[in-house]
Amino acid sequence: MNSRHTGVTLIELLIVMVVIAVLAAIAFPAYDGQQRRGTRAAAQSQMVNIANRQAQFLLDARNYALGAGALATLNVTLPDEVARFYTVTIENDSGGTAPTTPPTFTVRATPIAGTRQVPDGVLTLAHNGAKTRAGNPGW
């Protein structure tokens, strides 16, 4: 008896679907993590740019730009990649918006609730170069 095997059986199709599901379950978290790291790097780069602008502003005004209008004062526009995921503020080191003596500042990038950046926690960069992520030293 000569029998030919034609087509795909249901079992073979189910095995292929399971393999694809396992690969997707492995790949998606890795992809999401890479997206989060890329956005965090963009925010960190922007924070360093703001710190550089603050240093220039200090030479002219003898104080740092603080408060709600600080980004506008420094002529900084957040790129969409950062603005969609973080709220960036500039405060003095005690958390307020009034100038201090000696002048200090902290750039704070707070993840917007419901975005993929929430697990990162708050990023900070102080006038002395101190960096934290979610309260832990360093980025």
- Provide the token pair at 82: 């950062």
Strand 123-126 to 106-111 pairing: antiparallel
State pLDDT tens for residues 61-77.
989 999 989 999 999 99
pLDDT at 5: 67
Owner of token pair 């925010």: 43
Q: Which CATH number fits domain 10-137: 3.30.540.20, 3.30.750.24, 3.30.465.10, 3.40.50.10800?
A: 3.30.540.20
State pLDDT tens for residues 126-138.
999 999 999 999 9
User: Do 62 and 103 form a contact (C-beta atoms < 8 A)?
Assistant: yes
pTM of the model: 0.81
End-to-end CA distance of the chain, in Å? 70
Q: Locate the domains of the chain by residue range.
A: 10-137
Give the H/E segment covering residue 136.
strand 136-137
